Amino acid sequence: MSEENSHAEIFKIETTGDENKLSLDGQDLGPRRAGPFIVGLVDFIAGQGGLEVPGFVQLVRYWATEIIELDFEFFLYGSSGSTKWRTHVFAHRRSSTISSVIGEEEVTKAVMQAEQGFAKGVDQQTWKIFTTGTKEERERFQNEVQERLVAVREDHK
């Protein structure tokens, strides 16, 4: 039995359960419970100062905005390209990776903030159809967009 394990057994040292919110650098350095005491809480490593949530939340917002923008553009124009597809997949993967560090709740909040921010910059009726429209409403809107695009092309001939 290792020395660390024997001490843990003697003093009944266990983690406090906050280990999953630590940065990768802080993993296994969080506070431990030793009987009625909590030892090893070093704020800049394992406390609020050691959490990477603010930076990660900004990253989630950034990648969520990328996803929303790509989805919205596809909704409008019905097409995409290889760069956009790769960006979309990467953004989902990056968000998933960050979620494993800061948790699903923080990611959900950041995505909602990204949606709210993006929605402010687009036509509200279009946003409503994009987010909550029925299949028929979406198809009707997309057909109208395609008709307008054809008209613009014909005007420029």
pLDDT in tens, 84-121: 899 999 999 999 989 988 889 989 999 999 999 999 99
- Distance CA(71)–CA(88), nearest Å, equals 9
Which amino acid appears at position 22 of this protein? L
User: For residue 80, what pLDDT band results from cuts at 50, 70 and 90?
Assistant: confident
Instruction: Kindly state the percentage of the chain with pLDDT values over 70.
Output: 73
pLDDT at 17 over 60: no
Domain ranges of the chain: 3-50, 55-122, 124-157
Backbone CA torsion sign across 99, 104, 106, 112: positive
Q: 140 near 128, Cβ under 8 Å? A: no
Average pLDDT, the chain: 81
| Token pair 């660390």: residue | 4
- Distance CA(142)–CA(67), nearest Å, equals 19
pTM of the full predicted structure?
Answer: 0.65
User: For residue 7, what pLDDT band results from cuts at 50, 70 and 90?
Assistant: very low
- Distance CA(18)–CA(66), nearest Å, equals 31
User: For residue 20, what pLDDT band results from cuts at 50, 70 and 90?
Assistant: low
